[in-house]
């Protein structure tokens, strides 16, 4: 079974307006993402945007573009519009690659797609990586995930999860050092979806868990969807959220 990639790219951003078109190594950041996606095994790579400026640039470097509504409440809704507009079948698999990850390894795009193909009971597949510092474990911007023995997600949270009760008690009720004895996992926001799941997802109201944690994937868990999770075969570099992130990435490219 083959898969397709959709790269959502919006011009509006509170922290970094016009981010997809910001230059990195003399080329738009979005072009770097597109070229990485094209190095995967995907049969088709589509850029989804609601902005004519992004569409013009993307078509200029040879990408297929799908124009979408500017009014979607979430990236998943935008993805569902793309597969509906382009006539994807219910059992097709689509990987959502964020447009602000210009250094994403193609190997993990393949990994998440093949994992979903291999696990029929899952509607979504995603990845994780080890948490190795106490700061990351306690940071609410680092989303934690726990899975069962089959690799199926039990829960995602911004809180430290699972909570190491004995280690915390030994440190006076809180944590001052990274505890041992468990492999805490950070969720990597790379998803593969079955199109049927996308079609169902946009009909569900936001779930109480989703609204509490501000984590969209909890809507799927709340509605009984299986989410497969596996440690990434290659750690993805951090994405670009701010101009400062872009400058650091530019320095990294120059050093290489």
Condensed to tens digits (0 to 9), the pLDDT of residues 110-137 reads 999 999 999 999 999 999 999 999 999 9
DSSP letter string over 171-230?
Answer: TTSS-SS---SS--EEEEEEEEEEHHHHHHHTTSPPPHHHHHHT-THHHHHHTT-EEEEE
Domains of the chain by residue range: 4-243
pLDDT at 34: 97
Q: Which two tokens stand for residue 131?
A: 């948490």
pLDDT at 256: 67
pLDDT digits (tens, 9 = 90+) for 51-103: 999 999 999 999 999 999 988 888 889 999 999 999 999 999 999 999 889 98
What lies within 8 Å, CB to CB, of 143 at 6+ separation is 156, 157, 158, 186, 187, 189, 215
Side-chain half-sphere exposure of 19, counting CA atoms within 13 A: 25
Q: Rounded to whole angstroms, how far apart are CA atoms 66 and 64?
A: 7
Side-chain half-sphere exposure of 89, counting CA atoms within 13 A: 5
User: Hunting for tokens 């124009």 — which residue is that?
Assistant: 67
Q: Which two tokens stand for residue 74?
A: 């979430």
Q: Rounded to whole angstroms, how far apart are CA atoms 2 and 24?
A: 31
Average pLDDT over residues 165-173: 87
**Domain 4-243, CATH among 3.60.21.10, 3.40.50.1100, 3.20.20.80, 3.90.550.10:** 3.90.550.10
Average pLDDT over residues 203-214: 96
pLDDT digits (tens, 9 = 90+) for 172-195: 888 888 988 899 999 999 999 999
pLDDT digits (tens, 9 = 90+) for 219-251: 999 999 999 999 999 988 877 778 888 888 888
Q: Rounded to whole angstroms, how far apart are CA atoms 243 and 29?
A: 12
| Mean of pLDDT over the chain | 93
**For residue 230, how far is the Cα from the chain centroid?**
14
pLDDT digits (tens, 9 = 90+) for 5-52: 999 998 877 677 788 898 988 899 999 999 999 999 999 999 999 999
């Amino acid at each position: 079974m083959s898969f397709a990639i959709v790269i959502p790219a919006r011009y509006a951003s509170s922290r970094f307006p016009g981010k997809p078109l910001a230059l990195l190594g003399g080329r738009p950041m979005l072009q770097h993402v597109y070229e990485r996606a094209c190095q995967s095994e995907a049969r088709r790579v589509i850029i989804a945007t609601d902005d004519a400026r992004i569409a013009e640039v993307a078509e200029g470097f040879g990408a297929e573009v799908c124009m979408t509504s500017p009014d979607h409440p979430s990236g998943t809704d935008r993805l569902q519009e793309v597969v509906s507009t382009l006539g994807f079948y219910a059992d097709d698999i689509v990987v959502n690659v964020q447009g602000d990850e210009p250094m994403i390894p193609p190997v993990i795009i393949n990994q998440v797609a093949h994992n979903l193909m291999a696990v029929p009971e899952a509607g979504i597949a995603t990845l994780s990586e080890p948490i190795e510092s106490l700061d990351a474990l306690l940071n609410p911007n680092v989303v934690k995930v726990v899975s069962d023995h089959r690799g199926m997600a039990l829960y995602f949270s911004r809180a430290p999860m699972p909570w190491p009760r004995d280690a915390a008690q030994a440190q006076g009720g809180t944590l001052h050092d990274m505890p041992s004895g468990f492999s805490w996992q950070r969720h990597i926001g790379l998803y593969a979806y079955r199109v049927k799941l996308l079609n169902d997802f946009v009909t569900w109201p936001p779930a109480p868990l989703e609204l509490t944690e501000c984590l969209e994937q909890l809507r799927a868990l709340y509605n009984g969807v299986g989410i497969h999770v596996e440690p990434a075969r290659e750690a993805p570099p951090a994405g670009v959220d701010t101009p400062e992130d872009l400058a650091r990435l530019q320095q990294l490219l120059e050093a290489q």
